[in-house]
Amino acid sequence: MPTRRRTRMIHRLARLGVAALAILGVAIAHPADAAGTSVMTDAGGIAIGGYDPVAYFTDTRALAGKPEFSAEWQGAVWRFASAAHRDLFLADPARYAPRYGGWCAYGVTMGVAAEADPAEGWTLYDGRLYFAYDAGTRARWSQDIAANLAAADTRWPAIEAGLLDGTAKIYRK
């Protein structure tokens, strides 16, 4: 399915809510690929698409990490643009790691683990990093971040438990 069409479909589903996502889930949901981590990783175990989580704070942009500046945390391999960024992260990973394991924060508000776009769908809010499915979803998330956070914080523990035990359904692009 072309990207624009897929994005429109996700936007429509976001308006319809969890029930619509559950119905569509038969077609696009996959059981958790690698149980044991609640972090959004690729098939190789690389967190958040290989982007440097520190760069969102220090450079205010998405920056690809490099394999030579990697570290393991929470069962995932994190990449950084520099050794200095890696060291900052390791000194305080909770400060730099995205909330909800890097999954789409708006999806978490609806009770699902949906893949996020770390390049285009990121937001810094109240000193924390959040990702969204895409830029359009980020815009909807930003319309009422406080209410979205309340909903996501309520639903995240169940989603995280499913990710950790391998029973979660993951919505991939």
User: Is there a contact between 148 and 109 (Cβ–Cβ < 8 Å)?
Assistant: yes
Phi/psi for 116 (5° steps) reads -115, 170
The string of pLDDT tens digits covering residues 99-153 is: 999 999 999 999 999 999 999 999 999 999 999 999 999 999 999 999 999 999 9
- Element containing residue 76 per DSSP (H, E): strand 76-80
User: Is there a contact between 69 and 83 (Cβ–Cβ < 8 Å)?
Assistant: yes
Task: Please state, rounded to an integer, the average pLDDT across all residues of the chain.
Answer: 85
- The pLDDT score that the predictor gives to residue 24 is 38
Domain extent, residue 115, equals 3-171
Could you give the number of structural domains in the chain? Answer: 1
Predicted TM-score (pTM) of this structure: 0.81
The string of pLDDT tens digits covering residues 74-94 is: 999 999 999 999 999 999 999
